[in-house]
Amino acid sequence: MSFEVHAQGAIHVFDCFSCAIHRMAPICEHCRVQIIGQGVEAEGKWYCGAHCARAEGRAGIVDRV
């Protein structure tokens, strides 16, 4: 029971949903946690939350609601 994820023009085939999450989820640039669900992007970098973005010097970042 595999499925496909289409992202950024590429097609990724996964056997399970958790595999897909671990392959596709961005990593927080500050605390290195995998971002599953809500995250913030600043200047092409991903953070798990506004607090990590600010810790890396990204001013003016607020959590999306």
Number of residues in contact with Zn ion under rule CB under 5 A? 5
Pick from 20, 28, 40, 53: which binds Zn ion (CB under 5 A)?
28
User: Counting contacts by CB under 5 A, is residue 53 touching Zn ion?
Assistant: no
Member of 7, 19, 24, 31 binding Zn ion (CB under 5 A): 31
Which of 35, 38, 29, 27 lies closest to 63 in space, CA to CA? 38
Classify the C-alpha dihedral 51-56-58-59 as positive or negative: positive
Instruction: Supply 11's token pair.
Output: 């097609």
| Site for Zn ion, rule CB under 5 A | 28, 30-31, 48, 52
